[in-house]
Chains A and B, each alone.
Chain A
Amino acid sequence: MTTKSSVTRLAGLAVAATVGLAAAAGHPAAAETIKIGELNSYAKFAAFTVPYRNGWQLALDEVNAAGGVMGKQLEIVSRDDGGTTGDAVRVAEELVSREGVSFIFGTFLSNTGLAVADFANQNKTLFIAAEPLSDALTMDKGNRYTFRMRPNTYMQTAMLVEQAKDSGIKRWAIVAPNYEYGQSAGASFKQLIAEAIPGAEIVAEQYPALGKIDAGATVAAIDQAKPDGIFNATFGGDQAKFVREGNTRGLFEGRTVLSLLTGEPEWMLVLGGEAPEGWITTGYPWEQIELPAHKAFVDAYQKKFNDNPRLGSFLGYTCIYTIKAAIEKAGGVDTDKLIAALEGLTVETVAGPMTMRASDHQSTMGAWVGLTTLKDGKGAMKDWFYADGAKYMHSEEEVMKARPK
């Protein structure tokens, strides 16, 4: 009996402590600040979102130190989105109605991005999607209130296919995770490779469930079809397994590999010394970019966080400066004025200029395209160049046809 009541008391104490903490935290006093809401999967996908948060935190501090936006300090209320669409929509609403933010940005997974975009549309709130890559967000499920920063799946696939055009390779295999991102990457690849290389055919396709790739069986199935080129859309743990098995079984020998996202430090660092050689990939060779503005960004990031930036860091950093430019152009935080300001807005990012296209609210942020290689026992990129997103976007006609009226 004593055990039970003492445990009860402990439990009660814990709950009381949490309540006390929350009460103490409370809501910050609303001074003359511009309040913006941010939500992302900080608990579930910390490998990407924590560097991303560092990026926007750095930009926030810089902007506020330089006097803020239109004389007012910028304040960002950041929340975890709970990792599910239900929680994300609720958190978005809490930011807007309880915290009283002027607009929201963030999210990571495509389905979360789409759900929050739909909430934004219903609620007439501006939403700037940072990482979600689904084409649908700016195409067939796009709406007036949603903008997107990252180059979408179609754009990045187009960047890779352009590199393979001259190879004349006709036999291709596709490996992509079995969810919308992988499916649309595969579909875009099929469409684009047929246009780029006449007579190109897909001799094998594998769509392993996300996070559950049976690497040995998948590699063997691909190898069996004897492709000359492989298009890989797996990432993270799936990619690491795929690379290891593929290397051991000689899958990649003598074959051209196009791989989405592999060159990003988030996914490259995991591979360590096992990083593949000579894969054509999109990525972020932060340590090699010579632009002075970018070098200053890298310096500032390393000083503040004692860590190297990732692609997420660049994304978060760019989000804040885009927001700053939009508010200044709109002269305030009125939603309709902000939307008008964002459409066609050109921002000078640390990697060059970037424009937010008016027709589909997709930014022309590009990606760095190059070859993977091993440098000092770690993966890096070589022979890379910055592919401007504007060159690879859907055409205006395709956009007009796809977007809802």
Chain B
Amino acid sequence: MDPAFLFIQFLNGLATASSLFIAACGLTIIFGVTRIVNFAHGSFYMVGAYMAVTLVEPALAAWYGPVSFWVSILAAAVAVGLMGVAMEFLLLRRIYKAPELFQLLATFGVVLVVQDLVTMVWGPEDILGPRAPGLRGAVEIFGQRFPQYEIVLILAGPVILGLLWLLFKRTRFGVLVRAATQDRAMVGALGVNQALLFTGVLFLGAFLAGLAGALQIPKEPANPFMDISIIAEAFVVTVIGGMGSVPGAFLAAVLIGELQAFGILVFPKITLVLVFLVMAAVLVVRPWGLMGRPDVTDSHAFGGERPLKRWPPALGWAAVAGVGVLAVLPLFVDSFTLKLMIEVFIFALFAFSLNFLMGTGGIISFGHAAYFGLGAYGAALVYQHMGAPMELAIVLAPAAAGIGAAVFGYFIVRLSGVYLAMLTLAVAQIVYAVAFQWVEVTGGDNGLIGIWPSAWAKDRLPYYYLTLVTCGAGVWFLRRAIYAPFGYTLRAGRDSALRADAIGIDLKTHRWLAFTLAGAAAGLAGGVYSFSKGNIDPQVLSIPTSVDALAMVLLGGIQTVTGPLFGAAFLHLIKDFVMPLTDQWRMILGFIIIALVLAFPQGLVGFVARFGERGEEGR
């Protein structure tokens, strides 16, 4: 290979790295201080780009020159910073007391709202910005042309890194940020105004995200997909570098940028999955990222204060009555409602299995859709390629997913906290990429069609009962596990790994078993889903599916047992209700989620449970 070309490709990688770094460093700063996983970071990036194209055009029309261009870019970034402050003030501040993951649900609602807001304000078409004045052309490097603007981008990354270093080392604000990253509880105890600190950090993080978006406009048009295109990569860079570490993010960005630039020379299709492969590899070797540090305070995010109470008999009878109602439901509703309920049952089992991991086991999973999808694909592949009957396929689905969960779980349970969550995400994306690329077997992104149930289950009614029985059995089985000594062991590990270890519990094995069990249950839901829908494609493995499950669990209440069931029902039914109302249904759904997050920080069922308890204790 031509050395001149290699050098140019190296520079290309650096330019990508710079953009990635600026996009990701805000995320790592926000997480480091507030421990909030900010899904809306991609939305900040997108709004930064849109604001930049809006401001740059009139600025250049008024006075064409580099000054008006760069001032507009900075102004756009500041505007996004203020947006971050608004989000903190209106939304996040009210839910700091809630379990940490709940704030993630709130930011997810913000993502939905911003997606539709952006198309409402700026229209649905992409908006291409102008080139930067004075940097419109290319320079000759070793006989190859390299854009001038890319050189500026390459320099921008280290400059921002340097400025951030100065900020963190030489200002009081920076000292507080570093202290809060290291030990938030202590900072609070020392009397620092945490609210103000958080606001400042949100401003800085959002500013950086907006700046990253604004810097892209000479290269790419502002479009409504920017948020989802950047968020996964920003997360990956943040995690590889180590959450809370800005130099780590820079290192990770350079690593990813260069691997991508040279990776496409060897595997032209690698960009689909490269960042996740790298993240998985790094996390297995260095569980806290390249430059991250283990958390000082153990996360008690899932309320270890409350021991699990057995249900009073009244509640038990209520549950039986509930199942009875579901059994006779077909007499009262039409066929389409039955289809909705079938999907509700499937997602209920899916969410319940996730809550088994998260609420009982304390294992946060961002990639649970991997096992749902493995079950779905397992059933579909056995049915199509091996001619197995539906009954066998549905039985094999949890087996397939369970094997996958066992294999991946072995590496996953060695980590903890957010790193574990990100490794689950990486695994899910890798499985997604395999399903996407392996066209001969899985049908690629068009998937498999013609997955039809056996003759006896072809009609809606028998399939409804099939789903009720299988998903009900799955939920019942997991619930037995929750109340069994196994469940108590898991909760012990969740509440205090140290103490559990001290009394001789082999935590890793138990968590591994829990992961496998949860994966198998999700696989069962996936298998039933395949036949209910009739076709299966990689979307069943994608990040939005994992996020949906997460939202269902959080909405229902992560500290409850039946929460995910109601969360699944609520989210699915509300979505079906809202979708026909308007083109902007995502915004409405986002607002509903935000409203629920503010009103019920314990989740829907959690709220009811607290209510009941307060009544009991006569307060």
Are A and B interaction partners? yes
Chain A residues with CB under 8 Å of chain B are 3-4, 7-8, 10-11, 14-15, 18, 21-22, 25, 42-43, 45-47, 50, 79-80, 82, 84-87, 89-91, 93-94, 97-98, 110-111, 114-115, 117-119, 121-122, 134, 136, 141, 178-180, 183, 205-209, 211-212, 214-218, 220-221, 223-224, 236-237, 240-241, 244-245, 248-250, 266, 269-272, 274
Rounded to whole angstroms, the CA-CA distance of A237 and B228 in the bound complex is 13
Known: A46-B124, A89-B535, A217-B260. A183 touches B334 (CB 8 A): no
Contact A46 B578 (CB under 8 A): no
A residues less than 8 Å from B146 (CB atoms): 249
Contact of A214 among B264, B578, B591, B595 (CB under 8 A): B264
Q: Which of B9-17, B295-303, B413-421, B561-569 contacts A (4 or more CB under 8 A)?
A: B9-17
Instruction: Tell me how far the C-beta of A47 lies from the nearest C-beta in chain B, rounded to whole angstroms.
Output: 4
Contact B268 A249 (CB under 8 A): no
B residues less than 8 Å from A271 (CB atoms): 128
Contact A179 B271 (CB under 8 A): no
Contact with A along B111-133 (1 / 0, CB 8 A): 00000100100001111100100
Contact with A along B128-149 (1 / 0, CB 8 A): 1001000001100000111101
Whether, in the assembled complex, B368 has its beta carbon less than 8 Å from a beta carbon of chain A, the answer is no
Known: A93-B336, A115-B537, A136-B446. A205 touches B595 (CB 8 A): no
Chain B residues with CB under 8 Å of chain A are 1-2, 5, 8-9, 12-13, 15-16, 94, 116, 119, 124-128, 131, 137-138, 144-147, 149-150, 218-221, 223-225, 228-229, 260-261, 264-265, 268-269, 271-272, 334-336, 339-340, 343, 436, 439, 444-447, 449-450, 452, 533-535, 537, 539-540, 544, 575-581, 583-586, 588, 591-592, 595-596, 598-600
Contact B336 A249 (CB under 8 A): no
Rounded to whole angstroms, the CA-CA distance of A179 and B268 in the bound complex is 13
Contact A90 B343 (CB under 8 A): yes
A residues less than 8 Å from B225 (CB atoms): 211, 237
Contact A98 B444 (CB under 8 A): no
Instruction: Tell me how far the C-beta of B251 lies from the nearest C-beta in chain A, rounded to whole angstroms.
Output: 19
Closest to B269 in A: A207
Contact B268 A206 (CB under 8 A): yes
Known: A118-B450, A208-B271, A237-B221. A43 touches B585 (CB 8 A): yes
B residues less than 8 Å from A212 (CB atoms): 229, 271
Contact B534 A93 (CB under 8 A): no
Instruction: Tell me how far the C-beta of B351 lies from the nearest C-beta in chain A, rounded to whole angstroms.
Output: 15
Contact A237 B265 (CB under 8 A): no
Closest 9 CB pairs of A and B: A46-B124, A11-B595, A118-B449, A216-B12, A217-B261, A47-B124, A270-B126, A248-B147, A8-B599
Known: A46-B583, A80-B583. A209 touches B272 (CB 8 A): yes
A residues less than 8 Å from B124 (CB atoms): 45-47, 50
Instruction: Tell me how far the C-beta of B139 lies from the nearest C-beta in chain A, rounded to whole angstroms.
Output: 10
Rounded to whole angstroms, the CA-CA distance of A192 and B65 in the bound complex is 48
Known: A47-B125, A84-B539. A114 touches B446 (CB 8 A): yes
Contact B272 A178 (CB under 8 A): yes
Contact A220 B8 (CB under 8 A): yes
Contact B592 A43 (CB under 8 A): no
Closest to A13 in B: B595
Instruction: Tell me how far the C-beta of A201 lies from the nearest C-beta in chain B, rounded to whole angstroms.
Output: 16
A residues less than 8 Å from B268 (CB atoms): 205-207, 221
Instruction: Tell me how far the C-beta of A99 lies from the nearest C-beta in chain B, rounded to whole angstroms.
Output: 9
Contact A178 B535 (CB under 8 A): no
B residues less than 8 Å from A46 (CB atoms): 119, 124, 224, 583
Rounded to whole angstroms, the CA-CA distance of A329 and B124 in the bound complex is 38
B residues less than 8 Å from A98 (CB atoms): 334, 336
User: What would 11 A/B residue contacts be, using CB atoms closer than 8 Å?
Assistant: A45-B124, A46-B224, A114-B535, A208-B271, A211-B225, A214-B261, A220-B5, A237-B221, A241-B221, A249-B145, A270-B126
Instruction: Tell me how far the C-beta of A247 lies from the nearest C-beta in chain B, rounded to whole angstroms.
Output: 10
Rounded to whole angstroms, the CA-CA distance of A274 and B588 in the bound complex is 37
Instruction: Tell me how far the C-beta of A267 lies from the nearest C-beta in chain B, rounded to whole angstroms.
Output: 9
Instruction: Tell me how far the C-beta of B239 lies from the nearest C-beta in chain A, rounded to whole angstroms.
Output: 18
Instruction: Tell me how far the C-beta of A143 lies from the nearest C-beta in chain B, rounded to whole angstroms.
Output: 9
Known: A10-B595, A248-B145. A47 touches B126 (CB 8 A): yes
Instruction: Tell me how far the C-beta of A181 lies from the nearest C-beta in chain B, rounded to whole angstroms.
Output: 9
Closest to B258 in A: A217
Contact A178 B544 (CB under 8 A): no
Rounded to whole angstroms, the CA-CA distance of A91 and B165 in the bound complex is 52
Rounded to whole angstroms, the CA-CA distance of A11 and B537 in the bound complex is 36
Max chain A CB contacts within 10 Å: which of B128, B147, B339, B581?
B128
Contact A270 B125 (CB under 8 A): yes
Known: A180-B446, A215-B219, A217-B260. A270 touches B145 (CB 8 A): no
Rounded to whole angstroms, the CA-CA distance of A208 and B229 in the bound complex is 13
Instruction: Tell me how far the C-beta of B379 lies from the nearest C-beta in chain A, rounded to whole angstroms.
Output: 15
